Chain A
Amino acid sequence: MDSIQSWLATAELVGEAWLRHTTPDKYSRQTLELSRETLLQISSDLLKSPPHSVDSASLDSILTRSRVSVAQMARLIQAKDAPDFGRQLDSLRADQKLVKQLSDRIESRQ
């Protein structure tokens, strides 16, 4: 779960930086792609043996939605669509909060 939070936070940081025009498009897009790929890999490993205290279906749904947001953000950089990018970033932040809550729940039950 720590790795998932780390890569979601990476995508958020890159997204914020792109919106502020502080990073080049190519770097931002490639890093978001990297985040998505890494999230996919970590998620599939995690869902093979999900933590007991978490409903794996809801975890899967949150992680899938996050990956879609990150993929959309990468696509929107190419389209230079900042307003839609901002909306996807907000959605990613909401999922980040849910992942954090799940992670805290797992930690408290251990």
Chain B
Amino acid sequence: MKKVLQITLGIVTSVGGFLEIGSVTTAAQAGAAFRYQLLWAVLLGTICLIFLVEMSGRLAAVSKHTIVEATRERFGFPFFFIVLIGMVAISFLVLVAELGGIGLSLQILTGIGFPWWAIPVSFIVWLLMWKGTFGLIENGASLLGLVTLAFVVAAVKLHPDWGTAAHGLLPSFPGDQKAKYWFVAVSILGASISPYLMYFYSSGAIEDEWDETYIPVNRFIATFGMSLGGFLSMAVLVVAALVFYPKGIDIQKFEQASMLLTTALPKWGFFLFAMSMLFACLGAALEISLAIAYFFAQGFGWNWGEDLVPSRDSRFCFTYTIIIMAAAIPLLFGVDPIKVTIISMALTSAALPLAIVPFLFLMNDPIYLGKHRNGWVSNTVVAIVVLISFVLAVISIPLEIIGS
């Protein structure tokens, strides 16, 4: 009975916590510029994420190691340090974008510019981290994030042509704007396959004291939670395709995306969008701050645990304190969170091999996984998607920079 409840809660929190500024922005841009043509990228990213999240949980449940601990132990400190630099730099950019997303949501609700919100928002995120427990961060923000289901309601209410939309699930070549098409595809993949999610999930499994009996629970949560989450991203893309594409609106600013729900849900759409972004970005900001602190603490062998009082894991708490403070600085100076989002999503794709390749080695190591190590299906799916993301990122990032 306890495990059924855990599965239900896990699926609900996966759905509520799936969307964040990156997935909403990239899906909205895709729908606005290419109608349903990039639905395949969301599907591909979601499939890859299901596999990666399942592996992260399995590694923790079987080996009692987080990905970070196992990476350092298996590959040694010099290699681990390279991964640390790459992943922390990218996760930091994503954190800036998420804090900015909260600020932008408050900006459209109050009219007060997002730079003014940088310090109060960072303080609230820090306070929740300092005072909160892992359960509060994992479940609280994600449950509030269920407001993002409004995107599904809007998609249904706009009566899309489901047959045409289904065609978008198959990859196709763009007619024009080729560089932009591939750049947005890469950004969608980067937004879906965020490495911080893997680090957060595996650390969470250790915090929740998972063991081998949790393997089926993990599989259910990863499969259904992430699938339903991916469905939410697709709903955002479909709504953008129906609202923005016919008018020729290209999403460059948050203020434009804010109109996403007003056509389908005239009365509450604007506020539902603002609240969706507020809670989704808050949940993501908490998870990323934790993931970065986990990275340092587990890598350097410090005490760590969100359920510990700060005096018991002072270096862990000091790390997230510094990271959150630093992430507020660019926002104070008015750096556009949407631009940071787009850049960080594409960079995430380019850096995926750094996170995933060592992880695949770990998942095939009998010392850590024993009989639970990866089969060929998991290895092949993840390797192919990562390779595609990397190649597309390497090609499209320079093209997009030159093109724009």
Contacts and interface: CB of A to CB of B under 8 A. Distances in A.
A13 interface: yes
Nearest to B274: A27
A26 B247 CA distance: 23
B63 interface: no
Interface string A65-99: 00000000000000000000000000000000000
Interface stretch (A2-10, A43-51, A54-62): A2-10
A31 B252 CA distance: 12
B248 A9 contact: yes
Main secondary structure of the interface of B (DSSP, over half): loop
B139 interface: no
Given A22-B262, A27-B258, A9 B108 contact: no
Nearest to B268: A22
Contacts of B269: 22
B250 A30 contact: no
Interface in B260-276: 262, 266-267, 269-270
Contacts of B252: 3, 6
B262 A23 contact: yes
Most chain-B Cβ atoms within 10 A of its Cβ — which of A10, A14, A20?
A10
Contact of B247 (A2, A12, A31): A12
Contacts, number: 52
Given A14-B259, A27-B258, A20 B250 contact: no
A13 B259 contact: yes
Interface residues of A, number: 19
Nearest to A29: B111
A14 B247 CA distance: 12
Interface residues of B, number: 20
A31 B266 contact: no
Contacts of B262: 17, 22-23
Contacts of A9: 247-249
21 contacts: A2-B248, A2-B250, A5-B248, A9-B249, A10-B255, A10-B256, A12-B247, A13-B243, A13-B247, A13-B249, A22-B262, A22-B270, A23-B259, A23-B262, A24-B270, A27-B111, A30-B255, A31-B255, A31-B256, A31-B258, A34-B253
Interface of A: 2-3, 5-6, 9-10, 12-14, 17, 20, 22-24, 26-27, 30-31, 34
Interface of B: 108-111, 243, 247-250, 252-253, 255-256, 258-259, 262, 266-267, 269-270
